[in-house]
Amino acid sequence: MGVKQTRIGDLRHRITFQTLALASDGQGGQTETWTNLVTVWAYVRPMSANERLFAQKIEPLISHEVIIRHRTDITSEMRFIYDSRTFQVKAPFRPDERKFYLKFLAMETTGT
């Protein structure tokens, strides 16, 4: 599905973007807290699946193509939740430079 062919009705998946906040734990370390930023409609499509060896176990790598209405506050330091699964945002960009849509790849994380 190309961006020029994307219709507003194609954005039928509800995703919630989250930002990472680091707070001091009082003992020289930090605690990570993910905070909800915004919930939007999106088009989410699986693209590929691979596996890798990580910490002596096989970990799946699943990438998705995601398209949302144009926003300026989405960065690659964010993640989003979709269907109780967690995805890491990778390189958001405007595919047609017209500020209609924002497109990016996302890697599904498995909690390791």
Which domains, ranges and CATH numbers included, belong to the chain? 3-109 (2.40.10.270)
Query: Measured in whole angstroms, how far is the alpha carbon of residue 83 from the centre of its chain?
Result: 12
Nearest to 105 by CA among 69, 94, 97, 92: 92
Q: How far apart are CA 104 and CA 112, in angstroms?
A: 23
Q: pTM score, two decimals?
A: 0.77
Nearest to 67 by CA among 80, 55, 57, 77: 80
- Residue pLDDT tens, the chain, 112 long: 454 567 778 899 999 999 999 888 888 888 889 999 999 999 998 886 565 555 556 655 668 899 999 898 999 999 999 999 999 998 887 777 778 888 998 988 765 4
Exposure letters 10-34 (e unless 16+ CB within 10 A, then b): ebebebebbeeeeeeeeeeeeeeee
